[in-house]
Structure 1
C-alpha cells in the first residue's frame, strides 16, 4: 500500500508539473493568429473609438494583428452574444462597455446572456462622462429651455441614444424619471448614426458619451448643455454637471474594458491582461485618451470584474425603480 501511495503521489506531482509547463508554454505561444476584437455597436461611438485607439498598440505588443470588427444591432446584443458563443481560446474578444455588459442585460426581460457568468473581464480601459447635447442650429440652447420644452405636453422632446439597453438609454430614462418629464426616446444602432441625425436636426437632442460627441462640440455644431460625473470634464469646463443643475445623485459614467467568453485558459487570460496594461501605458494611447477626456481605470482584473458585477446589479435596481423594461 505504501508503495502504491508513493507512486500515486509521484504521478500526481508529475501531472501538476505538466499542467504548469503546458500553461507556461501556451502563454509563450499565444497568439499564433490574428485576434478579433468585436465592437457590438456601429462605427463612430465611444466603444468603436476606444477599440481603434488600443488595437494598434495591442497588435504591436502581442505580435499579431488585433482586428476591430463592428457587429451592431439589438442594443449591443448581437455582437456580444456572438462573443459569448465563440471558442474560449482568446482569439475572439470584445470591447465591452456599460451598455452591452451591464445596462442591456439588466433592463431586458429575457437577455440572451448573463454578463456575470458568460463573460470574463480581461481588463479595464477607461470611464467617461455622459453629455446631453443639442444641435447648434436648433431652438434649444440650454438645460432650462430643454426642461421647459419637455414639460409641454403637446411638444415632447425627442432624444437619441446608441440603442435600446445602451448606457445612454438608462441615463436618459433616469433623467426623465428624476425630473418628472417625458422624453421621446429614439434608439439607433450606435452613437454615430444618432449624432448624424442630431446634426441634421432630425432629432432634438442626444445623450451620449463625451468621447463620441467632443469633436462636434469643439466644432460648434453641437451644444453640450449638461454633463454627468462628480466634476466638470476639463474638455468642457463651461458645461455644468447635472448635479449643479439640480439633478441630485446623478453621477452616471460609462466604463469600457476588454472581455472574452468564460473559460479562457488562465495563461492566455494573463497574457491578454498584461498586453492591455502595456498598451494603455504607451504614449500614443495615453495622448489619444487625454484628447478624448476619459479617465483611465487602474483597477486590476479581479477588482474590475467585481466593479462590473456591481454595476450590473445597480443597473437592475435603477431599472426597477424607474420601471424601465426592454422587450428584445
Structure 2
C-alpha cells in the first residue's frame, strides 16, 4: 500500500510539474526576449539574426533584444545561453563554429551542444566568399595560390577567429595548394572585413551576406565561393574547386537554439514563427540574394543536421592539423 501511495504521489508531482511547465509555455512570452549572437556586429550570423529578429518581434508581440557577445570563436556567448534559465527568454543564434566545431577542436569548451542546447530552427546555410581588396593584384584562385607559392609566408588571410569555418577553409586552401600562408584571427567577421577593406590582410573567406554589399560597392573583389557547387545567387562565380583545389566544400550556417530543458511548447512555437518568417518573400529574397540557402526545418530535423555537421568537422580538423591558439 505504501509503495502504491508513493508511486501515486510521484505521478501526481510529475503531473503538477508538467502542468506548471505547460502554463508557463502558454503565457510565454510575457516580457522581452534576449537573443545572443556570439560574434561582433557585421558578420553573417549577425545579418541573419537581425533580419529574422526584426520580424520575430511582431510575431511574438514582445521586444527581442539582439546582443552581440563575442569572443573565443563564439563559445563565450554560447556559454551564457547554456547557463541561462530554460524559460524561453534567452536564445542563441548559433553558427557552425561554436556548435559544430567547438567540441572537436577546443579541449576545454565548457558545454556540449548535444546536451546543453535545444535546436529550434535552421535559418540558412551560406557559402563563404573568397574575397580580396579591390586593389589586390589577384583575380582568380589560381593567381592567389601562385602568388603565395612565389613568396612563401608573405600572403596573410583573415578569419573571424581561430577554428571558424573561414579559418579551416583558408588552411585547407594553403595545404592543398602547397602555398604557405599566414593566419590573422579576429574577434568576428566585422573586424576582419574592416581590415581587409583597409588592405591590412590579403584575403578572407567571409560569409556571403557580410561580403556581398562591399563587393557590390566595388570595395572588395570576390574570387570564388567555397561550396562544391556554384550558388544560384552568383551563377557566374566559380567555386574554389574549379580553381584547382579538389574536394573543397565549406559553408557557414546559422539557426536558433534555446537552453536545454526549455519547454517543448516554446520550442515548437519559436520553430513555427521562424519558419513562417522564412516564407516571407522579402526575407527569403534578401537571404538568397546574399548567398544563403534558406531551409525550413523541424526541431528534430535541425538536430539531425547539427549532428552531421559535427561529424564532418571532426574529419576536417584531423586533416588540416589545425590546433587551438
User: TM-score range, shorter-chain basis?
Assistant: over 0.9
Superposed CA offset, 1:202-255 (max 9, x none): 111111111110011111211111112232223332221112222222122221
- 192-201 or 100-109: which moved more? 100-109
- Correspondence list, 1:244-263, <5 A: 244-263=242-261
2:220 equivalent to 1:218:
no
Q: Secondary structure at the match of 1:207?
A: strand
Superposed CA offset, 1:157-189 (max 9, x none): 101111112121122122222222221111111
Unpaired segments of 5 or more residues in structure 2? none
Distance 1:297 1:25 in 2: 31
Q: Secondary structure at the match of 1:116?
A: helix
Distance 1:103 1:248 in 2: 22
Aligned to 1:303: 301
Q: Secondary structure at the match of 1:244?
A: helix
Q: 1:281 Cα shift?
A: 2.1
Q: TM-score, normalised by structure 2?
A: 0.92
Aligned to 1:227: 225
Kept after mapping to 1: 8 A contact 2:153/2:180: no
Distance 2:152 2:165 in 1: 28
Aligned to 1:80: 78
Q: 1:88 Cα shift?
A: 1.5
Question: Which of 89, 92, 98 is the equivalent residue of 1:91?
Answer: 89
Q: 1:267 Cα shift?
A: 2.0
Distance 2:102 2:313 in 1: 9
Supply the RMSD in Å over aligned alpha carbons: 2.2
Unpaired segments of 5 or more residues in structure 1? none
Q: Secondary structure at the match of 2:243?
A: coil
Distance 1:194 1:46 in 2: 12
Superposed CA offset, 1:62-116 (max 9, x none): 1111111001112112111111111121111111111221123322232222222
Q: 1:14 Cα shift?
A: 6.1
Question: Which of 207, 210, 215 is the equivalent residue of 1:209?
Answer: 207
Kept after mapping to 2: 8 A contact 1:100/1:165: no
Kept after mapping to 2: 8 A contact 1:106/1:316: yes
Aligned to 1:290: 288
Aligned to 1:156: 154
Q: Secondary structure at the match of 2:150?
A: coil
Aligned to 1:38: 36
The change in CA–CA distance for 1:20 and 1:79 in structure 2 (over 3 A counts) is closer
What is the count of residue pairs matched by the alignment?
325
Q: 1:275 Cα shift?
A: 2.0
Q: TM-score, normalised by structure 1?
A: 0.91
Distance 1:105 1:177 in 2: 23
2:189 equivalent to 1:191:
yes
Aligned to 1:104: 102
The change in CA–CA distance for 1:104 and 1:313 in structure 2 (over 3 A counts) is same
Question: Which of 58, 61, 67 is the equivalent residue of 1:60?
Answer: 58
Q: Secondary structure at the match of 1:171?
A: helix
Q: Secondary structure at the match of 2:242?
A: coil
Q: Secondary structure at the match of 1:260?
A: strand
Q: Secondary structure at the match of 1:172?
A: helix
